[in-house]
Chain A
Amino acid sequence: MEQEIRACLDQKEYREAFERLLPEFQNKVFRLAYAMLGEAGAAEDMAQDVFVRIWRALPGYRGQSSLSTWIYAITRNACLTALRKAGMKREVSMEEPGVARAVEERGSATGAGAGIDVLSFLNQLPEKYQRVLRLYHLEEKSYEEVARLLEWPMGTVKAYLHRARKELAEAIAQGKIERRTS
């Protein structure tokens, strides 16, 4: 598929190229955004923004890296920028309501009432652990995909996963998290 998209780009058929890459990459972009932002609604909004950016940038794509690498880099950068902005503002933004909301939720999860289940405790882990854990499950437990999407070495992904699962399990075992009975 990537070859076909590249062929369209070589012929400057940008609309055709975009129509092919949208279904091919929409879920990958969404999952990467979800792993980074931690909230599905914000991730879908962000994925839309990413595809608009891709559309704008397509004429400038020179094929230095693979198309997927290029798209994932755009996604990561967009998410990091949005998180930074939302983190600085800490208020509801008309442009990025989802991200702002996600950061608010993350902020409130560290309060006194937090830690009632696995997910709320997950939100208290360091960002790198959260991302790797979410993406690991979003990507059907594929270390390779997690490493590729985040552009981290495989050893780093495995180490972070190991530590993140350990921290969560210890929290449960120590009774910090109430197990759900429903």
Chain B
Amino acid sequence: MACPEFEDRLIEYADIEGEARACVDTHLAECAGCREFLEALRVVDTELAARFTGREVSAAFAPAVRRRVEREASARRLSFVPEVLDFVGWGAIVALLGLMAWWVLPLIPAFNTNQAALSLNSALAAGGAFLLVALVIGLRSLADLKR
């Protein structure tokens, strides 16, 4: 067993220097218990260093991770369902606006004279808006898939 007053300094032996080191060395020269303790510390450090120092992953590690991530990505391919619902929702909004225009505008006296032409224009405008929205949503979906 190491002497209690030297035990801490023996554990830090590799880091101490100067006078403190000289003091420990003097003591070691005359204390078998402390010499044995210091030797045991060296055995501990040597064995653990041999076992653990410089450990790295195997060469197969990164490819294995990439394969798993690829499988994960395939399993989580983006669903078209949100985009389709998005498309239907926007389509409904545009169709509703078109219908409202078709119903409401003829009721305004200033527009009565050109009712037929106006209805046709409203339908065309609604259809154009619908196609435009569809195009925007399509492009957005494509960008999401690419990402």
Contact = CB atoms under 8 A, between A and B. Distances in A.
Interface of A: 12, 14, 18, 22-23, 26-27, 30-31, 34, 40, 44, 47-48, 51-52, 55-56, 117-119, 122, 133-134, 137-138, 140, 162, 165-166, 168-170, 172-174, 179-180
A169 B56 contact: no
Contacts of B8: 162
B110 interface: no
A168 B2 CA distance: 13
B9 to A, nearest CB: 11
Nearest to B69: A55
A40 to B, nearest CB: 7
Contacts of B44: 118, 165, 168-169, 172
Contacts of B147: 12, 14
B48 to A, nearest CB: 5
Given A23-B62, A26-B65, A27-B57, 18 more contacts: A12-B147, A26-B62, A30-B57, A34-B52, A34-B55, A40-B55, A117-B47, A118-B43, A118-B44, A119-B51, A137-B48, A137-B49, A137-B52, A165-B44, A166-B7, A169-B40, A169-B44, A173-B1
A165 B41 contact: yes
Given A169-B40, A170-B40, A172-B44, A22 B53 contact: no
A8 to B, nearest CB: 12
Contacts of B57: 26-27, 30, 44, 47
A23 to B, nearest CB: 7
Contacts of B55: 30-31, 34, 40, 138
Contacts of A51: 65, 68-69
B36 interface: yes
B37 A52 contact: no
27 contacts: A26-B61, A26-B62, A26-B65, A30-B56, A30-B57, A34-B52, A44-B57, A47-B61, A48-B64, A48-B65, A48-B68, A52-B68, A122-B48, A134-B48, A138-B52, A138-B53, A162-B11, A162-B12, A165-B41, A169-B37, A169-B41, A169-B44, A172-B43, A173-B1, A173-B37, A174-B1, A179-B43
B43 to A, nearest CB: 6
A172 B40 contact: yes
B58 interface: yes
B19 interface: no
Contacts of A27: 56-57
A119 B47 contact: yes
